[in-house]
């Protein structure tokens, strides 16, 4: 009993300080909302619970990787497809160049971070005013030097 009383504060501190691993989506735009919709869920019973969010400027939302509603395989390295669009009169879909608009998705893992940001190359002739950037669990940008355009 005495050992438990000595160990309890340490266990409590460890539980409080441990961050839950998750994928997160950040809207870093100053004037536009973004809408993020997870691809069709493989389990039809979870279809309505999948990740569907509209994020105002500066907002973010996360999904813990163990949450099977928004990460169907429940693992940190599971791939999840997200349809990301910048809201406006004509929504701009973000995703890999060369993909048809209907199939354009941003793929992330259960521990990734997705950030929608203004395109720093816009004044250098780019046709995409915004880009999506994906960072892995080690905080490395995996979208390349130009990011994923939102067109």
Instruction: Among 3-7, 32-36, 90-94, name the one with the lowest average pLDDT.
Output: 3-7
Residue 14 lies in a domain: no
Cβ atoms < 10 Å from Cβ of 28: 16
Q: What is the model's pLDDT at position 20?
A: 61
Domain range spanning residue 84? Answer: 20-150
Q: What is the model's pLDDT at position 51?
A: 94
Q: What is the model's pLDDT at position 41?
A: 87
Residue 114 lies in a domain: yes
Residue 11 lies in a domain: no
Is pLDDT of 11 > 60?
A: no
List, in sequence order, every residue forming a beta bridge with 99; answer none if it has no partner.
none
Residue 7 lies in a domain: no
Residue 1 lies in a domain: no
Residue 97 lies in a domain: yes
Residue 24 lies in a domain: yes
Total domains in the fold of the chain:
1
Q: What is the model's pLDDT at position 52?
A: 96
For 66-107, how does the pLDDT look when each residue is reduced to its tens digit (9 = 90+)?
999 999 999 999 999 999 999 999 999 999 987 666 668 999
How far is residue 149's CA from residue 84's CA, in Å, rounded to a whole number? 11
Backbone angles phi, psi at 120, to 5 degrees: -70, -15
Residue 115 lies in a domain: yes
């Amino acid at each position: 009993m005495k050992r438990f009383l000595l160990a309890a504060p340490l266990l409590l501190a460890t539980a409080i300080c441990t961050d839950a691993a998750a994928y997160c989506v950040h809207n870093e735009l100053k004037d536009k909302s973004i809408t993020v919709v997870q691809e069709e869920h493989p389990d039809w019973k979870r279809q309505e619970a999948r990740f569907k969010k509209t994020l105002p400027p500066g907002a973010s939302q996360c999904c813990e990787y163990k949450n099977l509603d928004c990460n169907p395989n429940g693992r940190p390295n599971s791939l999840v497809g997200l349809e990301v669009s910048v809201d406006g009169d004509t929504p701009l879909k973000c995703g890999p160049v060369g993909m048809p608009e209907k199939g354009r998705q941003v793929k992330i893992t259960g521990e990734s971070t997705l950030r929608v940001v203004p395109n720093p190359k816009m004044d250098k002739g780019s046709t995409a005013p915004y880009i999506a950037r994906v960072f892995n669990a080690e905080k490395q940008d995996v979208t390349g030097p130009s990011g994923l355009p939102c067109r």
